[in-house]
């Protein structure tokens, strides 16, 4: 390591020595903000499908079905079928063809969409208040009555192959897919959402139908609604249109839910024609239900976000951002904290022009030293700043009917309940400097790392053993 390392460690110790008393007004503000949140009503239908609503008023509403299934529940042979199904759901049902479906949504002035992730599949609609009943019926039709005609499957196959080409051009998406491949080698989370090309070319209508019968069962589905909705009305509509969803899959439609195990590994795609190196460095993070998950999110906020092109960097207070702005060895640095049902990823995504080994050494010393600095604790001033940033980000995620419905659906699938805003902000307020030190130590100190990179001059970046050595300091 360069001689700058002891100096930065000394700076971190100095920050700890300059502790300030956190402002007591922060908790009062959090309580005031949380007090305006309307209650979330949750009901479970006889078939065990849950219905959750949050009436926030206004003239529009977002309704959607959140399903506890995604690419991690596929097999290697069927990887990509969940995403394929998402496409097929808009290609016609037993009572509506594609054009009728599109015209009906357009005539309502609404918005209908869907997405697939590694652990969840979501179909949602944003409509005017008076169209809530039509939206629920429409969602049930595309989820339960899609036809999956062989001709439509063949047409959509080409659409998905073109989509794969577009995704390959989105470097950040590719890096994170590669990161999952090396972080969870041979386990479900290593699979991509779109699946490999050979699977897309071979998936049939029967594969899609079997996936629906296996995974689209009532206990794994949540109908969430927010905005101009009334709980009793939505519950009645859910009973009418989703009451027939089976509680269990038919015989012979079993699936295996293997754990995803983190391992330290790396992958590098050397592309000297690219203008920069793009990479992600990650530790194993925490699962959604871990008691320390909000503390790890706070660690992400404490690291801060860096953008070389922004003139605001010189006014930043996060130590990592200040160091990056001083040495100018990166274009962008974005910390991330990704959670899953049984594991997670915590680290940084970086875009950098590495022109020499010194650039690599300086950059990685800043990144890894500042992550490890959290294991030594934080000042009260930094703690208050990080909490304010985290609460702002959490509140942003609930700004509007669609983000609110998203939060309700996701939380019921991951936590098994709706965590209201008051509890969320209280959990953030209750985090202490000792908590940050303990959680950072558990996640980062002397732990395995995974690394994925694409771009130019990757030859300057040390091997996996070098990156692993950056996860601890020699303590005196």
With 0-12 / 13-18 / 19 or more C-beta atoms within 10 angstroms meaning exposed / middle / buried, residue 251 is exposed
Query: Strand 266-270 and strand 450-455: pairing?
Result: parallel
Sheet bearing 60-67, strands edge to edge: 40-44, 50-55, 221-227, 60-67, 121-128, 111-116
Crossing angle (nearest 10°) for helices 319-327 and 357-373: 170
Exactly one of 54, 74, 119, 156 is catalytic; which is it?
Answer: 156
DSSP string covering 427-452 = HHHT--HHHHHHHHHHHHTT---EEE
Task: List the beta bridge partners of residue 455.
Answer: 270, 277
Q: Does the annotation count 102 as an active-site position?
A: no
CA 352-357-360 angle, to 5 degrees, is 35
CB atoms within 10 A of CB 13: 12
Q: Alpha-carbon dihedral of residues 215, 216, 218, 220, nearest 10 degrees?
A: 50
Residue where the block lists tokens 């007090």: 35
d(CA 245, CA 383): 47
Give strand pairing partners of 44: 50
Distance in angstroms (rounded) separating the CA atoms of residues 245 and 46: 10
CA-nearest of 216, 456, 242, 228 to 356 is 456
The pair of structure tokens assigned to 195 is 């699946």
Catalytic residue among 54, 74, 86, 406: 86
Residue 70 per-residue DSSP state: -
Is 156 an annotated catalytic residue? yes
What ranges in 284-417 are assigned the alpha helix state H?
A: 293-303, 319-327, 357-373, 380-396, 401-414
SS percent in the chain: helix, strand, coil, step 5: 50, 15, 35
Beta-sheet pairing, 60-67 with 450-455: unpaired
Q: What is the DSSP letter of 20?
A: -
Active site residues: 86, 156
């Amino acid at each position: 390591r360069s001689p700058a390392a002891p100096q930065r460690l000394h700076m971190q110790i100095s920050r700890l020595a300059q502790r300030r008393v956190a402002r007591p007004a922060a908790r009062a503000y959090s309580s005031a903000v949380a007090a305006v949140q309307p209650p979330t009503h949750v009901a479970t239908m006889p078939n065990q499908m849950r219905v959750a609503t949050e009436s926030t008023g206004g003239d529009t509403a977002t309704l959607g079905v959140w399903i506890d299934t995604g690419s991690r529940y596929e097999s290697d042979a069927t990887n990509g079928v969940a995403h394929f199904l998402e496409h097929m759901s808009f290609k016609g049902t037993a009572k509506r063809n594609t054009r009728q479906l599109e015209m009906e949504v357009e005539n309502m002035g609404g918005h209908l969409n869907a997405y697939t992730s590694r652990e969840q599949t979501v179909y949602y609609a944003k409509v005017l208040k008076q169209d809530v009943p039509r939206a629920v019926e429409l969602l049930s039709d595309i989820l339960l009555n899609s036809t999956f005609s062989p001709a439509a499957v063949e047409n959509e196959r080409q659409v998905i192959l073109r989509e794969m080409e577009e995704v390959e051009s989105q470097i950040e998406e590719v890096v994170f897919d590669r990161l999952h491949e090396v972080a969870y080698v041979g386990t479900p989370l290593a699979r991509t959402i779109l699946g490999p090309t050979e699977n897309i070319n071979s998936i049939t209508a029967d594969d899609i139908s079997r996936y629906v019968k296996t995974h689209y069962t009532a206990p794994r589905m949540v109908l969430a609604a927010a905005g101009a909705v009334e709980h009793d009305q939505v519950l009645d509509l859910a009973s009418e249109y989703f009451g027939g969803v089976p509680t269990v899959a038919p015989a012979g439609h079993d699936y295996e839910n293997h754990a995803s195990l983190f391992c330290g590994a790396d992958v590098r795609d050397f592309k000297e024609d690219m203008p920069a190196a793009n990479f992600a460095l990650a530790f194993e993070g925490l699962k959604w239900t871990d008691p320390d998950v909000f503390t790890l999110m706070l660690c992400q906020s404490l690291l801060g976000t860096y953008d070389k092109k922004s003139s605001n960097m010189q006014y930043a207070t996060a130590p990592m951002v200040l160091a990056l702005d001083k040495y100018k060895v990166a274009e962008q640095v974005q910390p991330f904290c990704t959670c899953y049902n049984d594991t997670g990823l915590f680290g940084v995504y970086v875009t950098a022009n590495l022109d020499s080994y010194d650039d690599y050494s300086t950059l990685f010393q800043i990144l890894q030293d500042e992550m490890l600095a959290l294991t030594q604790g934080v000042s009260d001033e930094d703690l208050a700043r990080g909490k304010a940033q985290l609460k702002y980000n959490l509140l942003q995620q609930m700004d509007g009917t669609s983000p609110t419905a998203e939060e309700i659906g996701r939380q019921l699938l991951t936590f098994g309940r709706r965590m209201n805003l008051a509890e969320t902000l209280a959990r953030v307020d209750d985090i202490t400097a000792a908590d940050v030190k303990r959680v950072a130590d558990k996640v980062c100190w002397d732990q395995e790392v995974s690394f994925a990179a694409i771009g130019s001059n990757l030859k300057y970046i040390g091997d996996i053993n070098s990156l692993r050595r950056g996860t601890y300091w020699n303590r005196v």
